Structure 1
Amino acid sequence: MSKLFLLEDDLSLISGLSFALQKAGYNLDIARTLQEAESLWQEEKYDLLVLDVSLPDGSGFAFCEKVRRTSQVPIIFLTASDAETSIIMGLDIGGDDYITKPFKLAVLMSRIHALLRRSQHFRQAPEELCSNGITLQLLEGRAYKDGGPIELTATEYKLLRFFMEHPGIILSPEQIMGRLWDCDGDFTDGNTLAVYIRRLRAKIEDDPARPARVITVRRMGYKWNTGGRTQ
């Protein structure tokens, strides 16, 4: 039985969510402040976290950053803000999904089920991916290029992992965005993806202007190249 962690200060929302989650068969711990959350949190204790962003003593973003220092547990943000910058920040610091209030309970439950399934799949996957001079240590969430560490945001890491899990396969922008972002809204357009591709190339390519690892396939998408440099 999966154990979830809810960080939320709205009592009426806590009441509704706790009833629904427990009825669905989940164990649940609840915190209403950052201080309570930090006292409850223990690495690998929970299968998924649901974090409110605005809290009486700080932000759920801060708690996410603390968690991501030691754990890759799935994280869903709940917030009243649908600003693009806020959503991108939440994803970049390690969030896996982002739901704006008010939301339909069925939508949140569906997102929770999907992330738990995905997390279970990742736990059964190999512990390491190696290709074209890049190594991903999947359990630790770390990346290396030619043996040296690469500093990636959470979204850049997920993007790189998706490419390396599908070597030589052309991935459409829709496939990539569908894998990386489950959030509502249209902010994940082609321009946003292009920005992330450019940022990733700057960190993993020997010459970002002439990429040899993440290749653009005109009018089709991108692919992870397992061979040598392409012209």
Structure 2
Amino acid sequence: MNQCKILITEDDTVLAEGVKINLELSGFSVLIAHNIEEAKGYLTRDTQSGQFSLLILDVNLPDGDGIRFAREIRASLSIPIIFLTAKDMDEDMIAGFQAGADDYITKPFNVQVLLQRVHAVLRRYQTAEDEAKSMKVGNLVIDFESYTVEKNGKMISLTPTEFKLLVKLCQNPGTVLTRQVLLEELWDKDENYVDEHTLTIFVSRLRGKISDEEFTYIKTVYGTGYRWIGAEKG
């Protein structure tokens, strides 16, 4: 996490500098904005030069409401937000979380507690990103970025179409995908027109590579299509 870049938006200069120093001692790269307008400038430039990993945001700022600003950010950016505020009323905390806050710290606070909250929020986001890039199910590890599949720790070879079919199925768990849906998704939308027999062959080949006595993964719904059952027993 020591490569993470954090933006502090806080009009209390002494507080902001103190937090900045402690974050930098923990290995973070830190910038300070003293108002919403300045923060918007940093965030706009940041989309071109590398995304901030976290925003520490004061609720009460000279040129606006931090909670309203958080809603604006959430409309276009996926970035963790920790609110700093002098308010500790339940309704204020609820408003903060509804605006998209990942955590909420009331002033005055122990900077070491803030550091622990920062690490915890970043870990949650990193875990979510890692899960989005890959899937572990049964004895399979499916990597959506590298287009690879491991079974019991060993790489298995799938054709591009087999991989597309696998992804379509595993990203719709429990849903019956009709033959027509799969044909249109995997072939017809690319103007590669094939018949249902070809789909049957591809499903059979995919099953032969990923299924075994322990895990079936794909269940045939006769007369309709296929359903991904994951590690359930078929």
TM-score if structure 1 supplies the norm length? 0.54
Alignment counterpart, residue 55 of structure 1, candidates 33, 58, 61: 61
Cα contact 2:68–2:99 (8 A) shared by 1: no
Cα gap change, 1:114 to 1:86, in 2 (>3 Å): same
Supply the distance in 1 between the matched residues of 2:97 and 2:171 (Cα, whole angstroms): 23
Residue correspondence of structure 1 range 113-124 to structure 2 within 5 A:
113-124=119-130
SS where residue 103 of structure 1 aligns? coil
Which residue pairs with 2:83 in the alignment? 77
RMSD value, Cα? 2.0
Supply the distance in 2 between the matched residues of 1:33 and 1:41 (Cα, whole angstroms): 12
Q: Which has the larger radius of gyration?
A: 2
Higher relative contact order (CA 8 A, sep 6+): 1
Cα gap change, 1:129 to 1:16, in 2 (>3 Å): farther
- Correspondence 1:13 to 2:4: no
- Correspondence 1:106 to 2:130: no
SS where residue 89 of structure 1 aligns? helix
SS where residue 125 of structure 1 aligns? helix
Percentage identity across paired residues of the two chains? 39
Supply the distance in 2 between the matched residues of 1:129 and 1:93 (Cα, whole angstroms): 28
Cα gap change, 1:68 to 1:130, in 2 (>3 Å): farther
Deviation at 1:61, TM superposition (A): 1.0
Which residue pairs with 1:26 in the alignment? 28
Supply the distance in 2 between the matched residues of 1:108 and 1:130 (Cα, whole angstroms): 38
SS where residue 73 of structure 1 aligns? coil
SS where residue 104 of structure 2 aligns? strand
Supply the distance in 2 between the matched residues of 1:99 and 1:129 (Cα, whole angstroms): 36
Alignment counterpart, residue 92 of structure 2, candidates 68, 73, 86: 86
Per-residue CA distance 1:34-63 (angstroms, 9 max, x = gap): 111111113461001100000111111122
Supply the distance in 1 between the matched residues of 2:56 and 2:67 (Cα, whole angstroms): 11
Which residue pairs with 1:65 in the alignment? 71
Cα gap change, 1:85 to 1:23, in 2 (>3 Å): same
Alignment counterpart, residue 42 of structure 2, candidates 32, 40, 45: 40
Deviation at 1:131, TM superposition (A): 5.3
Letter in 2 for 1:114: A
Structure 1: 5+ residue stretches without partners: 134-231
SS where residue 99 of structure 1 aligns? strand
Deviation at 1:126, TM superposition (A): 2.5
Larger helix percent: 2
Letter in 1 for 2:92: S
Deviation at 1:109, TM superposition (A): 0.2
Paired positions, count: 134
Per-residue CA distance 1:9-47 (angstroms, 9 max, x = gap): 001101211110111110011100111111111346100
TM-score if structure 2 supplies the norm length? 0.54
